[in-house]
Structure 1
Amino acid sequence: MITSLQADALIAAGQTRADALGIPVNIAVLDAGAHLKSFTRQDGAVLGSIDIAITKARTSVLFQIPSEAVWDYAKPGAPAPGLENSNGGLAVFPGGLPLFGADGALIGAVGVSGGAPSQDHDIARAAVAALIR
């Protein structure tokens, strides 16, 4: 289970990295059941990216892998083409990362949206690095 303290630490670290890059983003932290635990929309972050941040985190928590890795299963010719249309819609591009506790169990996921996909991924990695275990 991810705690509020852990979720807040992820949000703070993500905001710090986004500020360093000069990119206002939306950051969502979900628990292992894919329910919203914490969220922030930085000043100037695009409104349309709110849902994308949450969906990136949801994609990661549902499949327990980075959001962009789901594309390897969903793309044409892959084992499950069209998978991105399942579960109410998935985000199969960078910016969503699963979160694992000290025992290796899934505790949630973080999703970031508002910058380029590579920037969102960078910010998500910075958030995950701040996970208090």
Structure 2
Amino acid sequence: MKTKPALELSDVETGLKAGLLKATEKGWLVTVSVVDDGGHLLGLKRMDGCPVVAAYISPEKARTAALGQRGSGGYEKMINDGRTAFLCVDVLKGTLEGGLPIVADGQMVGAVGVSGVKPHEDLEIAQAMVDAIVA
């Protein structure tokens, strides 16, 4: 039997805090979320003034990144490049830029998702979250 690392509550809190800090530094209003490797929500924070819909989109981006074991933006690119069949995959609802997997010791342990600003800005915050968690 194999063993692998898993996210702990302190990791989730570290990621959420890093995401909110980065967003605050940039003056962006976002929702940040962290899921485990099965896409189950472990933590979510929506900043005051951030559109309510971001609280739905953020965890879906994270879930997509966890289940696909890749950044959620890759699916958006495939769809935009003509592979529209991915629109029918019900489990991949967060096919927008802003979800990133969390890898520790070479193992997929979860993912983060960010929603509320431009795609590259969501991704910048998501990367800060991942960096803080794996540090």
- Whether these two folds match at TM > 0.5 is yes
Q: Distance in 1 between matches of 2:43 and 2:82?
A: 36
Letter in 2 for 1:9: T
Please give the secondary structure, in 1, of the residue aligned with 2:7: coil
Aligned to 1:117: 119
Select which of 44, 65, 76 maps to 1:39: 44
Select which of 68, 76, 82 maps to 2:73: 68
Residue by residue, what CA displacement relative to the aligned partner does 1:73-104 show, whole Å, maximum 9, x if unpaired? 444544xx321331344222210000011x21
Contact 2:39 2:110 in 1 (8 A): yes
Contact 1:56 1:95 in 2 (8 A): yes
Q: Distance in 1 between matches of 2:134 and 2:73?
A: 24
Please give the secondary structure, in 2, of the residue aligned with 1:54: helix
Show structure 2 runs of 5+ residues with no match: 1-5
Q: Distance in 2 between matches of 1:124 and 1:76?
A: 24
Q: Distance in 2 between matches of 1:73 and 1:43?
A: 33
Q: How many residues were matched structurally?
A: 130
Contact 1:84 1:91 in 2 (8 A): no
Q: Distance in 1 between matches of 2:14 and 2:87?
A: 30
Aligned Cα root-mean-square deviation (Å): 1.6
CA shift at 1:71, angstroms?
2.9
TM-score, scaled relative to structure 2:
0.88
Letter in 2 for 1:56: K
Show structure 1 runs of 5+ residues with no match: none
Using the aligned pairs only, state the percent identity.
Answer: 32
Contact 2:64 2:91 in 1 (8 A): no
Contact 1:112 1:121 in 2 (8 A): yes
Q: Distance in 2 between matches of 1:51 and 1:41?
A: 10
Q: Distance in 2 between matches of 1:72 and 1:18?
A: 25
Aligned to 1:23: 28
CA shift at 1:43, angstroms?
1.0
TM-score, scaled relative to structure 1:
0.89
Aligned to 1:131: 133
Contact 2:76 2:97 in 1 (8 A): no
Note if 1:8 corresponds to 2:16. Answer: no
Q: Distance in 2 between matches of 1:71 and 1:50?
A: 19
